Amino acid sequence: MDHLAHDKKLMYLPEFEHAACGMGFIAQVDGHASHEIVEKALTMLQRMNHRGGTGAEPDTGDGAGILMAMPDAFFRDEMHRYELTLPAQGDYAVAQLFLPHDAEEKAAMLKAVVSQIDEAGFPVLWTRNVPFVYENCGPAAQQAMPGFVQVVVQRPTDTQAGQDFEDHLYALRRQLEKTFDRQAMYICSFSSRTIVYKGMLHAYQVSLFYPDLHNPQMKSAICLIHSRFSTNTFPSWDRAQPFRFLAHNGEINTLKGAENWMTSHGIEIYDETDSDSAKLENCMEYLYRHGRSIPQALMMMVPEAWGEGTEMSDEQRAFDEYNATFMAPWDGPAALCFTDGIQVGAFLDRNGLRPSRYTLMKNNQLVVASESGVVDVDPGDIVEKGILAPAEMLLVDTSTGRISKTRDLKRACAEAHPYQQWLNANRLTLGELPDAKSDESMPIDSLKKLWLRNGYTHEVIQTALSPMAQNGGEPVIAMGFDSPLAVLSKKSQSLFTYFKQSFAQVTNPPIDPLREKVVIGTFGFLGRDGDCTRDTAENCHKLKIDSPILSDQEYAKILNLDLPMLQVAKLSLAYDLTD
């Protein structure tokens, strides 16, 4: 059904798809890799099977998978069986590919992919057909099933191990994605640090479908899992999570604004038909590849509530306001788990409407999941347990064996630069602008002309606008609206009548007035956006407005602005009907 996404004549639009899922991770805090971690992760996944969705076929799931730190022992053992030598860990990478299921088509596509990898300067050491059990998924999943191939590549001699190698692999991945059609070649992961096993499966089917996962040499210190429940969505193998870094439970209700922000900043959207979760990772990866850490990138994209009345340090409030001057928020509900193969963490957005519970055990294992009980733990073995509150984050660094919590993580980001000084020196408010002359009186003929141009009707003026202007009260209008939709009406309509609320009604709890007061604001920033990949004082050279609804005096102040970084132009929206 993916072809529907490209047929604009139909009423189906993929951007209205939303999901609510189960997710979590288990990590050995000291970084010691073991098969026990993998088996426990698979148990976690199976125990959240009820959070996954299914259609008319009970054996076909909406999607499930596992993302883990590179199982070096497994690939070393597999290559040894073929008398091949694997370089040291970090000096090789594995591409996990979905290719055509047909044997001949798969071989041809693999040959083309390997050729392009070689041409890019990455020696291909080995290709491997990933074992799978065809019967352990439903008919629809079988019909859409791709071929599964792993390609092992060596680090080029002119590339340093670590982040430099990862960045070059990212560039190669994007080159491959642009060369080959997504339906014929999808890259689940291509990294020296992580690998993904996923599919159009139920949570309990993942371990049954991929025999690799039960190999005793499949050892890892980090395993991140996800079980997908999609509403009004056509599941597919590539839409399954986890993605390359993230697993997401919830939906991004500010997706359209965030997409527009990405486009205006020249940030490439990998695939317009991707889910909101995939686009969230898309933007996060852009920031990550340009030097941001994953925790900082997520703090920038998914901000906490920092308005008046919230308890936080002045440095943290300045950090959040600074980012708000040039970043579009990715507001949920959203609970996130993330990893780069070394660090692993969990993060909850400021709405706090998706559960994320954690348990730290005496054996130095940390479990985070959408619910408790996904791993059997003796109460006496629990060191600490809890639940993430809105905008809280938990981070494990397996290279140092350290667990960091929200306060330390946010303090490190907030104190990295003098954000408050930058705001004081560069951010303007309407109250700081010089007074400007405004003519609040208008001849009735001119006023009627404006009403006519903007599509105001007699009913709107008499029953809505006049009571609001005279009494400052809410307009009271009888329920029921039988006029044609603005887009279908043959008469001129007000611009505002074309706007309708867009949100995931199926899965979103209602926003209560207490949370709304803290989380939702009407302020905005006007001005040219700076470089989101690096922090500079120029980024916050903006004009802050408390509301998009301006008085005549405020409007006149803005029209009179004449600053190097804040230039104003006045455009007419009127047009000649005879043209």
Catalytic residue IDs = 21
Query: What are φ and ψ of residue 155, in 5° steps?
Result: -65, 130
- Which of 213, 63, 86, 87 has the alpha carbon at shortest distance from 138? 63
Q: Can you tell me the distance from the alpha carbon of 38 to that of 409, in angstroms, rounded to the nearest whole number?
A: 28
Q: Can you tell me the distance from the alpha carbon of 569 to that of 527, in angstroms, rounded to the nearest whole number?
A: 12
Strands 22-28 and 222-227: antiparallel
Strands (E), 349-458: 357-361, 365-369, 382-387, 393-397, 402-405, 428-429
Sign of CA dihedral 386, 392, 396, 402: negative
Helix (H) or strand (E) holding 324: helix 314-324
Q: Can you tell me the distance from the alpha carbon of 310 to that of 317, in angstroms, rounded to the nearest whole number?
A: 9
Question: In the Cβ-directed half-sphere of 459, how many Cα atoms lie within 13 Å?
Answer: 7
In one-letter notation, the amino acid at residue 251 is E
Do residues 345 and 339 make contact, with C-beta atoms less than 8 angstroms apart? yes
Burial of 421: CB neighbours in 10 Å, binned 0-12, 13-18, 19+ = exposed
Do residues 136 and 208 make contact, with C-beta atoms less than 8 angstroms apart? yes
What number of other Cβ atoms are within 10 A of residue 133's Cβ?
11
Quote the DSSP letter at residue 29: T
